[in-house]
Amino acid sequence: TQLLEQSPQFLSIQEGENLTVYCNSSSVFSSLQWYRQEPGEGPVLLVTVVTGGEVKKLKRLTFQFGDARKDSSLHITAAQPGDTGLYLCAGAEDSNYQLIWGAGTKLIIKP
Amino acid sequence: DVKVTQSSRYLVKRTGEKVFLECVQDMDHENMFWYRQDPGLGLRLIYFSYDVKMKEKGDIPEGYSVSREKKERFSLILESASTNQTSMYLCASSLSRAGNTIYFGEGSWLTVV
């Protein structure tokens, strides 16, 4: 079974700090998605990365797909309280209907 | 706008009761999924369906069944609810390929007492 290790599991930082969340696997994915889930809601897609080495930016969020397409990172610059939530990564294989999910990173940004 | 609607947000059921969780999507998606989400365990796939009347077991199908009689509707059934099925249940849908965006409902919080 493919695994997607996500770290850290929990992060609580002050507003204005930077942070990075990691997703790592020993297997290769055709694409990798990042979702954010707010309390009481379902996850919502933030970005999909497809090409090895790809970098995508969404305002203060920077997503990178590893060159070998086995890992990905999410970097948040100058975190805001509105960034608080559960961040989930999910890897896709072309041969599979299913996504492989990381366990999530619970992020709390304190004002 | 894309929409996945779960019929019940919060339910409290007794051990042994039969529980139905309903989900409807309005995007004409082929794939539909049921996940449960527990703290520290992430999303675990219970069942998915890639077409009407088709279903496939996910990682944790025991104690659950599903029904997909129409393309837009995917139901999760707990034949005899148990306390270890207390969880948040998420329905989702997507177009056919695994790399496509998954759209989630708001979730159903089930407590079995």
Chain A and chain B share a number of CB contacts under 8 A equal to 63
Contact B99 A48 (CB under 8 A): yes
Contact A101 B106 (CB under 8 A): no
pLDDT value at residue B100 = 78
Is A96 part of the contact surface with chain B (CB cutoff 8 Å)? yes
Task: State pLDDT tens for residues A59-95.
Answer: 999 999 999 999 999 999 999 999 999 999 999 877 6
Which of A99, A105, A106 is the mutation pick for testing B, counting most B CBs within 10 A?
Answer: A99
Beta bridge partners of A6: A23
Cα B15 to chain centroid, rounded: 19
Pairing of strands B73-78, B19-21: antiparallel
Nearest-by-Cβ selection for B42 from A40, A92, A101: A101
Euclidean distance between CA atoms B38 and B57, whole angstroms? 19
Contact B98 A45 (CB under 8 A): no
Is A73 part of the contact surface with chain B (CB cutoff 8 Å)? no
Residue of A103, A34, A6 whose CA lies nearest to B40: A103
Chain A residue with minimal CA distance to B42?
Answer: A103
Nearest Cα of chain B lies from the Cα of A31 at a distance, in angstroms, of 6
The CA R_g of chain B, rounded to the nearest whole Å, is 13
pLDDT value at residue B97 = 66
A101, B43 contact by CB (below 8 A) = yes
Task: State pLDDT tens for residues A13-60.
Answer: 999 999 999 999 998 998 999 999 998 899 999 999 999 999 999 999
Q: Which residue has the higher pLDDT, B78 or A96?
A: B78
DSSP string for residues in A17-75: --EEEEEE-SS--SEEEEEEE-TTS--EEEEEE-STT-EEEETTEEEEE-TTSSEEEEE
pLDDT value at residue A2 = 59
Within 8 A of A3 by CB-CB distance, chain B residues are none
Q: How many CB atoms are closer than 10 A to CB A65?
A: 24
Percentage with pLDDT > 70 across chain A: 95
pLDDT value at residue B44 = 93
Q: Under 8 Å CB-to-CB from B39, ≥6 apart: which residues?
A: none
pLDDT value at residue B41 = 83
Average pLDDT by consecutive 10-residue portion of chain B (113 residues)? 88 97 94 92 92 92 96 97 97 80 93 97
Within 8 A of B45 by CB-CB distance, chain A residues are 98
